[in-house]
């Protein structure tokens, strides 16, 4: 089940951006794709991995390990995209890649949780505004231009 969910996630969030070059725009589009994946209820409870994490976080075993691995993989993927944007000169040289990825993912997951629990779809708009503000705060002039591009 976890492998199947990971394949759906990759199909909806990662693969559509294969042709977007590394940089700030790619990071922004990854975030937008994740927010769409959650808000469109690809899985009934929003993000499969967020929901499964809550169920299995304190239960040792192979399901826990598979979910943990998938979440670590996503964090590493986001960190890699941010690092590529930094290397391309679109985020400041001093950008803390791990911290920025953590904050972005936290905003996405907060939107998912709030929308599922409270049926508050505006949480996705709030998350996107917060993510954009956070990305802009780390972006160079070139990165801000990329973030502002359609």
Determine contact, residues 67/73, Cβ cutoff 8 Å: no
Q: Does the pLDDT of residue 81 top 90, yes or no?
A: yes
Determine contact, residues 138/95, Cβ cutoff 8 Å: yes
What's the pLDDT tens digit per position in 8-40?
999 999 999 999 999 999 999 999 999 999 999
Q: Which of 110, 100, 111 is nearest to 139 (CA)?
A: 100
Give the residue-averaged pLDDT of 72-85.
Answer: 97
Q: What is the CATH number of the domain that holds 107?
A: 1.10.357.10
Q: How many domains does the chain have?
A: 1
pLDDT of residue 46: 83
What is the per-residue burial (b if ≥16 Cβ within 10 Å, else e) of 81-106?
Answer: bbbbbbebebbeeebebeebbebbbe
* 5 Rama sector, left if φ>0, alpha if ψ -120 to 50, beta otherwise: alpha
Q: Does the pLDDT of residue 6 top 90, yes or no?
A: yes
pLDDT of residue 45: 81
The pTM is what? Answer: 0.93
Beta bridge mates, 18: none
- Which residue range is the domain that position 44 belongs to? 2-148
Say how many C-beta atoms besides its own lie within 10 A of residue 144's C-beta: 16
């Amino acid at each position: 089940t976890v492998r199947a969910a990971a394949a759906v996630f990759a199909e909806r969030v990662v693969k559509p951006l294969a042709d977007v070059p590394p940089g700030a725009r790619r990071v922004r589009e990854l975030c937008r794709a994740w927010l769409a994946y959650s808000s469109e209820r690809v899985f009934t409870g929003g993000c499969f991995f967020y929901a499964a994490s809550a169920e299995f976080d304190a239960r040792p075993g192979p399901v826990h390990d598979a979910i943990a691995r998938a979440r670590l993989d996503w964090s590493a993927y986001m960190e890699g995209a941010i690092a590529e944007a930094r290397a391309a000169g679109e985020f400041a040289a001093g950008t803390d890649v791990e911290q920025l990825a953590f904050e972005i993912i936290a905003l996405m997951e907060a939107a998912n949780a709030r929308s599922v629990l409270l049926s508050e779809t505006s949480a996705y708009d709030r998350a996107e505004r917060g993510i954009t503000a956070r990305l802009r705060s780390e972006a160079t002039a070139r990165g801000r231009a990329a973030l502002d591009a359609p």
